[in-house]
Structure 1
Amino acid sequence: MLRVGIQYNVELQRIVRQVKKSIDKELIPAIKQVEYRYVADEAWPDRISNILNILKAIWSSREFDEKSKLIAGEFVSSTVKSVDKKNKAKSGIDAFGNSEQMNNYLAAATTQNANLIKSIPEQYLNNVANTVLTGMRNGVLAREIAKQLTDDYGVTQRRARFIARDQTAKVNGEIDKRRQVDAGFEYFQWLDSDDERVRHKHRLIADKKTKYGKGVYRWDDLPKNDKGETIQPGSDFGCRCTARAKTTASVEKYMKRSS
């Protein structure tokens, strides 16, 4: 994962831990208090549900909404800087401001990531509510429910990690494409991450000798994945591939040698 993605994951994992902390503080003690009154006390469902609703309200508040937007904005902004630094070093591309299309994309990417961030505590607490209420109705002891909540915590950690990794690849890939196209590059070379986790199809794309060169494609004539969908580096599910800008002169030189 790129450094930007690692930092993004750090922020998302911090949120996950904070949600867990609020669950441990507010919900677990309440479950233990009513543990032996599951059947006799008909009021426990309301009490537990009220606590769950309070937790959901905290993690869907305007304050958390603003925090999500801030984290998303910093992630997108850092990704732009990372791409521009890489393109300057490897392709000599200088970015002088953003086009209207780029600004629109950055705004959309920020909104999408803010929504993904907000969905982390939302899905986590929905899973917790299902685990707790189902367990209590079935007479499951509090310590067993706590063990099940550990599983919910792990699921949420992994989902947050995937969001960071997947969005880093997607946003990085799209910004890279737009920077290259805006700079006048019509062609790019598809580079896979050169390890055992590379999809077979993506390796084939990177190794294919097209009429433009090995793994070289036009931005307006992209390859397709196994589902027949047009893809670019970073756009496919969990893709870690990247695009190296290729000049028209280098492509024309290759085509002339190959003819």
Structure 2
Amino acid sequence: MVKLVSPTGKDVVLRPVRANAGIEASYNRALQKWVDALHKSLSFWITAQYRANPPPSLAQDAGFESFRDGSPANAMRRAIHRMSRRWLKAFDKGADELAEYFVDKAAGATDVQLKDVLAKAGFTVKFKATAEVNNAMQAAVGENVGLIKSIAQQHLSDVEGLVMQSMTQGRNLGDLTEELTKRYGVTKRRAAFIARDQANKMTAVINRTRQAELGITEARWRHSHGGKHPRQSHVAASQADGGKGKLYDVAKGCLIDGDLIWPGELPNCRCTAQSVIKGLE
């Protein structure tokens, strides 16, 4: 392990390393493309099935008919299950490749940015593919695979609920289409959140791993000033110590709201760390 030491005797506070906006955008575009294809397919087949086997009107006694094998509700349920199997398989098949691509790009961009930050502070460092970084990357791949799969799982479950409720209540296709469009919007926003949140987390994890490799034991908490609803405790931590940011142990995390956490760890947290290279004693 290389231990960086300030040659001037004074602490050197590095610029924060931030998530690469281009990689986040690329990840988001890929997720949005999958969500769009999923929604388009579901809308087409659900509409076709709804028109071929419309639900009985509310004026009819559908209490018994809805449980018969040949009922419109059962026909729709079977159709949705066929579509669900197809799309779950598609997301499962592509999740590993997309997750690995994103993690590799995010880790590489973090190293490049950290190397540039160190160079501007007067330090020349060559990063290597260490076991610690590889472990962090593999953990991130696993987390992202699960999140990608969950997009399809949650959306399909929600859609099935909406469709079966519509069939039970004898609602028209226009009302159902409106509900499906709303759910589509929810899923698109969740996909965008996953891309943004994971970009922040990935950057923070790789940065923290490199800090340990360089012998950097302290950092200052810095708020990003991004987002419409910032966590006030995170803002306060950034303003601590005369505005320099709260100093914390990199290995343990920063004590905020009674918990030891790291920048970017909590959902939607865009805070960053300013590494502190200690001066000569």
Q: How far apart are the structure 2 equivalents of 1:5 and 1:193? A: 16
Secondary structure, in 3 states, of the residue corresponding to 1:244? Answer: strand
2:101 partner letter: E
Residue 187 of structure 1, CA deviation: 1.7
Aligned to 1:57: 85
Q: How far apart are the structure 2 equivalents of 1:105 and 1:249? A: 29
Aligned to 2:274: 244
Match of 1:46 among 74, 82, 87: 74
Match of 2:234 among 181, 190, 202: 202
Residue 231 of structure 1, CA deviation: 0.8
What CA deviation, in whole Å up to 9, does each residue of 1:78-110 have, x standing for no partner?
111111111011123635323222212211110
Q: How far apart are the structure 2 equivalents of 1:198 and 1:248? A: 30
Aligned residues: 247
Residue 66 (1) aligns with residue 93 (2): yes
Secondary structure, in 3 states, of the residue corresponding to 1:217? Answer: strand
Q: How far apart are the structure 2 equivalents of 1:245 and 1:146? A: 51
Q: Is the 8 A contact 1:233 1:242 kept in 2?
A: yes
TM-score by length of 2: 0.81
Per mean C-alpha deviation after superposition, the further-off stretch among 188-197 and 233-242 is: 188-197
Q: Is the 8 A contact 2:91 2:152 kept in 1?
A: no
Q: Is the 8 A contact 1:79 1:172 kept in 2?
A: yes
Residue 50 of structure 1, CA deviation: 1.4
Residue 178 (1) aligns with residue 209 (2): yes
Aligned to 2:222: 191
1:51 partner letter: A
What CA deviation, in whole Å up to 9, does each residue of 1:200-226 have, x standing for no partner?
11111112119xx64332213422232
Query: Which runs of 5 or more residues in structure 1 are unaligned?
Result: 253-259
> Percent of pairs identical after alignment?
28
What CA deviation, in whole Å up to 9, does each residue of 1:31-53 have, x standing for no partner?
12222546467421221111111
Q: Give the RMSD, CA atoms, in angstroms.
A: 2.1
Q: Is the 8 A contact 1:84 1:94 kept in 2?
A: no
Per mean C-alpha deviation after superposition, the further-off stretch among 5-14 and 125-134 is: 5-14
1:4 partner letter: I
Match of 1:141 among 134, 151, 172: 172
Q: Which aligned pairs between 1:89-168 and structure 2 lie closer than 5 A? A: 89-92=116-119, 94-168=125-199
Q: How far apart are the structure 1 equivalents of 2:202 and 2:265? A: 8
Secondary structure, in 3 states, of the residue corresponding to 1:234? Answer: coil
Aligned to 1:77: 104
Q: Is the 8 A contact 2:222 2:245 kept in 1?
A: no
Secondary structure, in 3 states, of the residue corresponding to 1:235? Answer: coil
What CA deviation, in whole Å up to 9, does each residue of 1:37-70 have, x standing for no partner?
4646742122111111111111221x53231111
Q: How far apart are the structure 1 equivalents of 2:132 and 2:186? A: 36
1:203 partner letter: V
Per mean C-alpha deviation after superposition, the further-off stretch among 37-46 and 80-89 is: 37-46
Residue 17 of structure 1, CA deviation: 0.3
Q: How far apart are the structure 2 equivalents of 1:138 and 1:36? A: 8
2:25 partner letter: I
Q: Is the 8 A contact 1:87 1:94 kept in 2?
A: no
Aligned to 2:48: 29
Q: Is the 8 A contact 1:205 1:215 kept in 2?
A: yes
Secondary structure, in 3 states, of the residue corresponding to 2:174? Answer: helix
TM-score by length of 1: 0.88
Residue 21 of structure 1, CA deviation: 1.2
Q: Is the 8 A contact 1:12 1:160 kept in 2?
A: yes
1:239 partner letter: C
Secondary structure, in 3 states, of the residue corresponding to 1:243? Answer: strand
Change (3 A) 1:121 1:221: closer
